[in-house]
Copies of this chain bind each other. A is one copy, B any other.
Amino acid sequence: MTHSYMSHLDCPKCGTHYDADQLQQLCTCGSPLLVRYDLQAAAAHLTKDDLLRREPSLWRYRELLPVRDAANIVSLGEGMTPLVRLERIGAADGFQQLYMKDEGTIPTGSFKARGAAVGISRAKELGVTALAMPTNGNAGGAWAAYAARAGIQATVVMPTSAPTITRNECDVTGADAYLVNGLISDAGKIVGRAIAKHGWYDASTLKEPYRIEGKKTMGYELAEQFGWEVPDVILYPTGGGVGLIGIHKALLELQEMGWIGERLPRLVAVQATGCAPIVKAWEEGKSASEFWNDAETVAFGITVPKALGDFLVLEAIYDTGGCAIAVDDEKILTAQRRLATLEGAFLCPEGAATYAAALDLKQQGWIQPEDRVVLLNTGAGLKYPDTVQPQFATLQPDDDL
């Protein structure tokens, strides 16, 4: 009989503990809350071998997830995405062990589905019937989908520049969706006021504690897929940074359970030069970022001028000996096309940014040719059709090639 070993929530900033079985949002000090588990007990009951016979979804890590009763799980089969070896481009560009973790092959076509699946499952378990959130698109699409599946009403506010397909996802799944003339930070303020007024659950990034638990499963999966070893470097496209925080948390949990050794992968926060607050903070050796003005990049999902969890992202980088690096849009689109033509993999621009960054880091000598390097592709290129503009010839039926 499997069950969750969740023990409580705590604040990574001030240390205050909270009851996990009550609805919680931020700590009174303003920090996000993190979910804690009785990892010793989990390690005593769960074995790596148990996992082998479980279904290939993130729910295989049931004991280390926050849902108490399996009946509350709201799942579309998300997780255990492929770890794809990139041998051809690696050989061409001098990476001996290059991999892509492909989150394009997940419901809603974006890794946001992980956070939504676990966040919505736990919200349902705790009795939530209505929630609201701002989004750059993919998170809104994912939360709208899982909320629909759970019978929870979702209100979503997104910038007018949010990608068409993510808007359509919100519409078709029945969310109450709005556009705003502004950035995700403007959408966030509208949502904040609406929540205060209507009493909705705040599902904004890191303002509820469970989204990160979904995202962290990328860390578990990477460890399991590498046979409980960890790679040398993981490059992660960083907007809100929840995935990076989550992967770091997951690896620390696996260490505490004795499932992986002392060494951690160096975590790299990849941003676009058009919106690089984490990179700036890291370059200045700071523990928090400043609001980035006039943010703009083709990698729309990482256009986050100021992330609530910035201090946790920076902590993950410092703790693992990682770094932060920005790449421009031209390099991103070149990397996207090169990955597609050599590997057949159509990454989203955010995912492609990680390869542009890997190339720069290798040139700087920060990545060695023999390092085992993982690109975290956070979503399907399909969701950003405008990054490709084909010019095909049009034939008549009688024409010959």
Spell out A's residues near B (CB within 8 Å).
52-53, 56-57, 74-78, 80-84, 88, 102, 104-109, 132, 144-151, 155, 157, 160, 164-165, 167-174, 177-182, 186, 189-191, 193-194, 197-198, 336-337, 340-346, 380-383, 385, 388-390, 392-397, 399-401
Chain A to chain B: the 5 pairs with minimum beta-carbon distance, closest first = A77-B82, A149-B344, A171-B390, A56-B56, A145-B344
**Docked complex Cα distance between A323 and B383 (Å):** 36
Question: Are the CB atoms of A400 and B193 closer together than 8 Å?
Answer: yes
Question: Are the CB atoms of B345 and A169 closer together than 8 Å?
Answer: no
Known A169-B382, A190-B399; 20 more pairs at CB < 8 Å: A77-B82, A82-B107, A88-B151, A104-B107, A104-B109, A107-B344, A145-B345, A150-B344, A157-B401, A169-B381, A171-B388, A172-B336, A172-B341, A172-B381, A177-B390, A177-B392, A178-B395, A180-B394, A180-B396, A181-B396
Instruction: Report the nearest B residue to A225, measured CB to CB.
Output: B55
Question: Are the CB atoms of B109 and A102 closer together than 8 Å?
Answer: no
A340 touching B148 in the complex, CB below 8 Å, given contacts A106-B105, A109-B109, A165-B385: yes
Give min CB distance, A150 to chain B, whole Å: 8
Question: Are the CB atoms of A147 and B57 closer together than 8 Å?
Answer: no
**Docked complex Cα distance between A84 and B59 (Å):** 14
In the complex, chain B residues whose CB is within 8 Å of the CB of A77: 81-84, 102, 105
In the complex, chain B residues whose CB is within 8 Å of the CB of A145: 340, 344-346
Can you report 6 A-B residue pairs in the complex whose CB atoms are below 8 A from each other? Answer: A56-B56, A147-B344, A149-B342, A173-B344, A178-B395, A179-B393
Count of identical protomers in the assembly: 2
A108, A341, A346: most-surrounded residue (chain B CB, <10 A): A346
A149 touching B343 in the complex, CB below 8 Å, given contacts A186-B397, A397-B180: yes
Question: Are the CB atoms of A394 and B160 closer together than 8 Å?
Answer: yes
Give min CB distance, A374 to chain B, whole Å: 14
Question: Are the CB atoms of A179 and B401 closer together than 8 Å?
Answer: no
Give min CB distance, A339 to chain B, whole Å: 9
Task: Determine which of B177, B344, B396, B400 lies in contact with A76 in the assembled complex, contact meaning CB atoms within 8 Å.
Answer: B344
Question: Are the CB atoms of A173 and B341 closer together than 8 Å?
Answer: yes
Task: Determine which of B132, B181, B346 lies in contact with A395 in the assembled complex, contact meaning CB atoms within 8 Å.
Answer: B181
In the complex, chain B residues whose CB is within 8 Å of the CB of A346: 108, 145, 169, 172-173
Question: Are the CB atoms of A148 and B344 closer together than 8 Å?
Answer: yes
**Docked complex Cα distance between A84 and B80 (Å):** 15
Give min CB distance, A367 to chain B, whole Å: 23
Question: Are the CB atoms of A190 and B344 closer together than 8 Å?
Answer: no
**Docked complex Cα distance between A312 and B9 (Å):** 58
In the complex, chain B residues whose CB is within 8 Å of the CB of A342: 148-149
Give min CB distance, A102 to chain B, whole Å: 6
In the complex, chain B residues whose CB is within 8 Å of the CB of A81: 77
Instruction: Report the nearest B residue to A82, measured CB to CB.
Output: B77
Instruction: Report the nearest B residue to A200, measured CB to CB.
Output: B401
Instruction: Report the nearest B residue to A156, measured CB to CB.
Output: B392
**Docked complex Cα distance between A144 and B74 (Å):** 35
